[in-house]
Amino acid sequence: MIEKIVKSIIAFIGLSIGVVFGIYMTDFVYPNPWFEFGRMVYAISLPVLFGLLFAFITFVASKLVIAIGKKLAQIAQNEIDKIPQQDLVVSFVGLVLGMLFAFLISGLFDIIPLPVIANALKILSYIFFGYLGISVAQRIARDNAKVGELSRKISATKTTKSKDLEQKLRPKLLDTSVIIDGRIADIYKSGFIEGDIVIPEFVLRELQHIADSADALKRNRGRRGLDVLKMIQQELPGRVKIVDEDFEDVQEVDIKLIKLAQKYNGAIVTNDYNLNKVASLQDVFILNINELANAVKPVVIPGEEMVVQVIKEGKESNQGVSYLDDGTMIVVEDGKKFIHETIEVLVTSVLQTAAGRMIFVKPKQ
């Protein structure tokens, strides 16, 4: 439909050009104005003839013209698509402002007595200020984009630092296992953990229950946990808070601890592997002191020499067992015969597990 309309317009243009050309040819072919009838015949026939001829030619050629126009339009569209939309808008605004400024100053060239030079200067001023307007607008847009990007980076950095600070200062909820373990007191004193310490009353009740146990081992562990809490209160005055919030509908202490951490947006400090996994599934932040201990253990690599004291027999045949100062187990191949002796060994492999690390060695000799 559109092509038909375009062909009709092109043919109409050809018709108009043919008519004008026919009128011109009338004066050229029949210049004598005294013979009005003959001139009238030419004045009618030539414009009609040339009009129809030009209309036919342009109508036939319109298909080629449309094809060339489509090709040029596609090329222009492809080039425009490569330019960001924001740059196009900015360039258009700059072009309009440049043209407006050129229009305002173009009147100054009218004082030049030579019209050719005056018109040439006007055209050059439109070209120059149009280009200048586009260039300045794009420069301003690029500078604003850089400033905006810098502002976003600064804002993102501030947000990250704020989140890191919030994470460091969020309250730390201690579970029963980490209190009984006792290392948490030294970790807090060293400054590796920040923020307030929150001790729920249901954790204290569990500690009290363990301390009152008939089993001597459990009783000692419970009493040790209470002593650790007392030491933390003395070493860190004002940072230990006892909260009496409870969840009556929940029986498990670990689940209560998770719910309380979610409510306070706090972190659970533990060395319980199962609590670690359950809390992680519920997006509760966990600080596992076993992971911290593993992270600061001395690094050993296969082929490294060590001096160990074989303490006892291992599970497998002819194996001996030793320990590092931090409690890391060392399995000595063919070490059964060196029990209660101090020997030089070579590291053969290191096994890292969630429960800890094991080092496998063999006697050097």
Domain ranges of the chain: 2-82, 172-294, 300-363
pLDDT score recorded for residue 355: 59
- Which residue type does 294 have? N
pLDDT score recorded for residue 110: 74
pLDDT at residue 145 tops 80: no
Q: 24 — phi, psi (to 5°)?
A: -65, -45
pLDDT digits (tens, 9 = 90+) for 235-265: 777 778 888 887 878 788 888 888 888 888 8
Give the CATH fold of the 300-363 domain. Answer: OB fold (Dihydrolipoamide Acetyltransferase, E2P) (2.40.50)
Note whether 347 and 324 are within 8 A (CB). no
**Could you please report the per-residue DSSP string of 190-250?**
HTSS-S-EEEEHHHHHHHHHHHT-SSHHHHHHHHHHHHHHHHHHHHSTTTEEEE----TT-
Residue bearing tokens 């050059």: 124
pLDDT score recorded for residue 31: 56
Q: Specify the CATH number of the domain 172-294.
A: 3.40.50.1010
Give the whole-angstrom CA distance, residue 195 versus residue 166. Answer: 9
pLDDT digits (tens, 9 = 90+) for 302-359: 888 888 888 888 888 888 999 887 778 889 898 888 888 888 888 888 887 655 678 8
Average pLDDT over residues 71-84: 70
| Structure confidence at residue 193 as a pLDDT band (50, 70, 90) | confident
Q: Which residues pair with 309 in a beta bridge?
A: 342
Report the percent of the chain where pLDDT is more than 90: 0
CA-to-CA separations, 37 to 40, 46, 235, 363, in angstroms, rounded: 5, 14, 127, 132
**Residue 212 neighbours by CB distance under 10 Å:** 11
pLDDT score recorded for residue 34: 46
**Residue 314 neighbours by CB distance under 10 Å:** 18
| Structure confidence at residue 5 as a pLDDT band (50, 70, 90) | confident
| Structure confidence at residue 153 as a pLDDT band (50, 70, 90) | low
**Residue 125 neighbours by CB distance under 10 Å:** 20
